[in-house]
Chain A
Amino acid sequence: MRHHLKPLIALSCTALLLSACGESPNARSSNTGSEAPSELVFAVVPTDNSEELLSSFEPVVAAIEEEAGIPVSIQAVSNNAGVIEAQVSQRVDVAVYGAFSYYLASDVADVTPIAMDQLTPEAGSGAVSSVGVTIPGSDITSLADVDGKDVCFTDPASTTGYLAAAAGLIEEGIDPEDDINPVFTGSHDVAVTQMIAGDCDIAFVAQTFVDVLLPARGVIEDGDTETIWVSDGIPGTPMVVGTWLPEDLQESIRRAMSEYNAVTAAEAGFCADEDQRPAPEQWGDEYTDAMACEWGGTGAFAFEPATDESYDPIREICEATQAEVCRDDS
């Protein structure tokens, strides 16, 4: 053993030296919400139509740092329950997740929405809809025809992929649990591709998938699907803050969100030149030739003010469906 000791000691020393050379990249300041925090923790969960989550939120984080005057650390998390539990224990200060996640969090955590996605300069443009799609020539032409069919949904806790559609079916007098054969596919793209492949007669997914995302990614082409039903608008992705934060800090986050949009953020230098993109056509003539930052995971134009009331449509859907996932957990 003796002649192995030298390299062993050398190795251990190297490791110790490495560890001693400064703070870990993951070091956290441990503060819980009592007094003014020295750092804000910002968590984002992928929503149905988000991409490149971390990099697309960097300009938003930069704007909040600017207004609040304290550093913000951002974490991407793949599961909403994790973020909600961290909010319950006041260890996540700001979060962006799906509308239904806010509905769940509002029951158990001291949080309030301050802003929501706005995809174009038009107010309310962040609203999402659920659509029912079939293959062209299907004998399903309206919701009433869905009775007794195989139906692809995404996930029992998805507003666009299940709840809104279930509420629509209930209005038609169809019980979404007993009168149809529901199949949960886990994601919007799988629901659509499996419907086309013939695993089910109709798929209910978020509208952006059928209109924009799947065609853009080359998964489906024009004429592959026919939309037979569109739900009412469902409020867009909320930005939620903990009400345990000092008033002025909450206010500064609100200010950061209302003061800037994707274009003015680029002007203010919240994103590097190489990360900017030309403003998309949907933003109108006013912004032709303007450069914009990636403003959140959905490529939004801005965040418009939101309150708890903005999310009443989700509560109404839950009232209507009495779905298992809507249970009040208090």
Chain B
Amino acid sequence: MPAVTASARSSSRTPTPHRPQRAQLSTATWAVPASYLVITIFGMWWIDVRPGVVVEGFGDIARLMERMVPATTGPLPPLIALVFETLWIALAGTGIATLLSIPLAAAASRSFTGPRWVQIISRLVIMLTRAVPSLIFAIIFVRIFGLGPLAGALAIAVHSIGMIGKMMTDSFEELSPQPREAIQATGATRTQTFIATTLTRALPQMTSFVLYRLDINIRASAILGLVGAGGIGVALQTAIGSLNYPRAAGIIIVIILLLLALELVSFLSQRSLAEHADPSASSQLFVASRSGRDPGWSLQRFGRTAAALSAIGLFLFALSTLSIPFDRLQRSGANAWAMLSGFVPPTISTEVVLGIFESVIMALTATSFGVLIGLVIAILSTNHLVNIPALSWMLRTFVVLVRGVPDIIYALIFVAALGLGPFPGFLALSISCTALAAKFFTDALQNINPGPRRALEATGAGRVQAFVSGVWPQFVPSFIANSLFTSDLALRESAVLGIVGAGGVGFLLHESVTSIQYSTTAGILIGLVIVVVALEQVARWARRKVL
């Protein structure tokens, strides 16, 4: 990770709406990268990373890839039906999560002015839903709501609150406080202030990570296979489980096409919402009109409203596809309670502690690699340093391709090349971290206020100078927060490591669930919660230092 060498000295004499950056380097900007470096060195030793071994396995990788072509989808109509089923479940789950996250994130953010206990509870809810893997929610909801898309959508919704809520909290906190204070001074209520200042300004970022979470949820649909919700996950798992790789490849291509369409929607929505950079983008969300009272409907605003309405329409339709079995609810309360009581007392064995330790080491090491490569990809695909639209599109497509391939496929490829153990698991994890980080950083760079950079360029500064002084300082908070968050996600993705026998906590969790040892499951969950809370504390501290 590059240390920040240039501190921003925005020598603006005139007051700007943006706080001048601190001239000194805060502890967090070097301490976080330094600890990552140390853990990575240890992790590479622990995992026994040896690049030479990968080269030896090239022949085996090629032989495995040969068995994946030619890709076949089988009969298309049923597959398309499955794709839509998956899409509706993911849409409904993401939508529910978004609606629940807005009040939670508002209450959890540092600028919340209400009672302290509301803030603490909101933070807890966001943290817990993030720490518990969606697999666990799926098991619980199946007991309560029965098999079907409803259990799947709810499992997705609850788990997504953790990410959407967290990222919303972050983006609310990053906003400058002046407008909020100004509106408050007029005597507006807390809700009015929030909607008029915070919500509207955070909208571009919110849209980008809600859409991204939708992308994650579509890929996570393999989880839905567990709850008999159908969807494309079952078809994919069946294809992989029976070594029918051509069919698996066909299904993956269909998923990737869906994700590419989503990426396009995401790009267009960002361009029309973000008040910035692209010459073609509108520079303001709300254009001043001739009369003071009339909000002024420009073409862009009309488009935005239409898009928002159609998104709401899609969400409502997706909700309508979930059938709520009211008669089941009464019958299953006792059943679900009996299952939940199996979670106490939690048992934490040394095996679990070791597993979590190994998972954490691997997640952090994979993050370091992912963040470095992801940063390069992000810088190349935004127009701050390199302004080649074609390259940016190529990279965006490439990242979607990489993300569209399920982790289990990477794990299989590396297992064929390296045998079992932590190393192939770590490589699969690094790839997913790279894709995650690239996506987060690209979005963060897109949303950066172009003012300082333009000002610097106007003085004749070169691209690199303008980037280092006008873009990077603004990017640091989200860079550090997103790096830590990538680790956080990587920890949960470590379930993939069970596939390749990398130990870690993934296999233990899987085994405890399949053999109904719920007390062990609870022990693992407690361990995961502790780690996620610790990471969260570090992230909070770092943000306090750099914001």
From A228-236, A243-251, A321-329, the one touching the partner chain is A321-329
Contact A197 B335 (CB under 8 A): yes
With a cutoff of 8 Å between Cβ atoms, the chain A residues found around residue B372 in the complex are none
Pair A82/B412 contact, Cβ less than 8 Å: yes
Contact among B227, B342, B499, B511 for A186, CB-based, below 8 A: B227
Which of B42, B44, B238, B417 is close to A156, meaning CB atoms less than 8 Å apart?
Answer: B238
Q: Are A197 and B67 in contact (CB under 8 A)?
A: no
Closest to A81 in B: B240
Provide the bound-state CA to CA distance between A325 and B241, in Å: 8
Query: Across the interface, do A19 and B501 meet the contact criterion of CB distance under 8 Å?
Result: no
B residues within 8 A CB of A190? 139, 142, 226
Residue in B closest to A88 when the chains form the complex, CB atoms: B416
Which residues from A are CB-within-8-Å of B342? 218
Q: Which residues in B have their C-beta under 8 angstroms from that of A24?
A: 45-48
The digit string for A2-32, where 1 denotes a CB below 8 A from any CB of B, is 0010011001101110110000111110101
Cβ 8 A contact of A79, one of B5, B423, B499: B499
Return the contact of B5 from the options A1, A14, A183 (Cβ within 8 A).
Answer: A1
- A324 contacts B420, CB within 8 Å? no
B225 cross-chain contacts in A, Cβ below 8 A: 184, 186
**Is B241 a contact partner of A75 (Cβ separation < 8 A)?**
no
- Specify the chain B residue showing the minimal Cβ separation from A13: B38
Q: Is the beta-carbon distance between A82 and B243 smaller than 8 angstroms?
A: no
Q: Does B234 contact A (CB under 8 A)?
A: yes
Q: Which residues of A contact B501 (CB under 8 A)?
A: 43, 75-77, 82-83
Is there contact, CB below 8 Å, between A82 and B499?
Answer: yes
B244 close to A15 (CB less than 8 A): no
Q: Which residue of A lies closest to B61 (CB)?
A: A89
Docked pose: A43 CA to B42 CA in angstroms: 27
B265 contacts partner chain A, Cβ-Cβ < 8 Å: no
The listed residue (A12, A27, A77, A329) touching B243 by CB distance below 8 A is A329
B12 contacts A by Cβ under 8 Å = no
Q: Is A275 an interface residue (CB 8 A)?
A: no
Contact A189-B420, Cβ < 8 Å, known A77-B501, A327-B244: no
Contact B241 A78 (CB under 8 A): no
Residue B331 interfacial (CB < 8 Å): yes
Please state if A75 and B499 are interface contacts (CB–CB under 8 Å). Answer: no
Q: Does B422 contact A (CB under 8 A)?
A: yes
Q: Is A320 an interface residue (CB 8 A)?
A: no
**Are B511 and A53 neighbours in the complex by a CB distance under 8 Å?**
yes
Taking CB atoms and an 8 Å cut-off, the chain A residues in 174-208 that contact chain B are 183-187, 189-190, 193-194, 197-200
Which A residues touch B476, using CB under 8 A? Answer: none
Q: Which residues does chain A contribute within 8 Å of B332, judged by CB atoms? A: 197
For the complex, what is the distance from the CA of A8 to the CA of B411, rounded to whole Å?
34
A82 / chain B contacts, CB cutoff of 8 Å: 411-412, 415, 420, 499-501
Contact A77 B507 (CB under 8 A): yes
Q: Are B420 and A92 in contact (CB under 8 A)?
A: yes
Inter-chain contact B511/A46, CB cutoff 8 Å: yes
Q: Is the CB of A329 within 8 A of B147?
A: no
Q: Mark A33-64, 1 if CB is under 8 A from B, else 0.
A: 00000000101001000110100000000000
Given A25-B46, A91-B420, A194-B147, does the pair A324, B56 have CB atoms closer than 8 Å? no
Residues on A with C-beta less than 8 A from B57 are 89
Chain A residues with Cβ below 8 Å from B301 are none
A residues near B244, Cβ cutoff 8 Å: 324-325, 327, 329
- Known interface pairs A19-B41, A197-B328. Does A41 touch B419 (Cβ–Cβ under 8 Å)? yes
Asked whether, in the complex, the Cβ of A80 is within 8 Å of the Cβ of B46, the reply is no
Bound complex: CA A324 to CA B78 (Å): 15
Docked complex Cα distance between A327 and B412 (Å): 20
- Give the one of B242, B417, B500 with max A CB within 10 A: B242
> B321 interface residue, CB < 8 Å from A?
no
Known: A78-B506, A82-B412. A198 touches B420 (CB 8 A): no
| Inter-subunit contact B422/A104 (CB<8 Å) | no
Stretch at the interface among B29-37, B175-183, B430-438, B443-451: B29-37
Q: How far is the CA of A41 from the CA of B328 in the complex (A)?
A: 48
Contact A326 B516, beta carbon cutoff 8 Å: no
B84 CB to nearest A CB, Å: 19
In whole angstroms, what is the CA distance A200 to B147 when docked? 9
Q: A98 to chain B: closest CB distance in Å?
A: 11
A86 at interface, CB cutoff 8 A: yes
Q: Is B22 an interface residue (CB 8 A)?
A: no
Question: Which residues does chain A contribute within 8 Å of B63, judged by CB atoms?
Answer: 88-89
Within 8 A of A (CB), among B1-34: 3, 5, 25, 27, 30-31, 34
Q: Is the CB of B46 within 8 A of A157?
A: no
- Given A24-B45, A41-B419, A155-B241: A14 in contact with B56 (beta carbons within 8 A): no
Whole-angstrom CA separation of A80 from B242 in the bound complex = 9
Please name all residues of chain A whose beta carbon is closer than 8 Å to the beta carbon of B418 when the two chains form the complex.
Answer: 91
Instruction: Kindly list the 9 A-B residue pairs having the minimum CB-CB distance in the complex, ordered from nearest.
Output: A91-B419, A75-B501, A19-B45, A325-B242, A78-B498, A89-B60, A77-B501, A15-B41, A186-B226
B contact residues vs A (CB 8 Å cutoff):
3, 5, 25, 27, 30-31, 34-35, 37-39, 41-42, 44-48, 53, 56-57, 60, 63-64, 67, 139, 142-143, 146-148, 225-228, 234, 237-238, 240-245, 328, 331-332, 335, 342, 408, 411-412, 415-423, 498-501, 503, 506-507, 510-511, 514-517
Q: Apart from A152-B147, A185-B226, what are 10 other A-B pairs with CB-CB below 8 Å? A: A1-B5, A4-B34, A14-B38, A28-B48, A46-B514, A88-B60, A89-B416, A108-B67, A194-B146, A329-B244
Residue contacts A-B, CB under 8 angstroms, 29 given: A8-B34, A11-B34, A25-B46, A26-B421, A41-B420, A46-B510, A46-B511, A77-B500, A77-B501, A78-B498, A79-B241, A82-B420, A83-B501, A86-B415, A86-B420, A88-B60, A88-B64, A89-B63, A89-B417, A91-B415, A91-B418, A108-B67, A155-B238, A155-B241, A186-B227, A187-B226, A194-B228, A199-B228, A325-B244
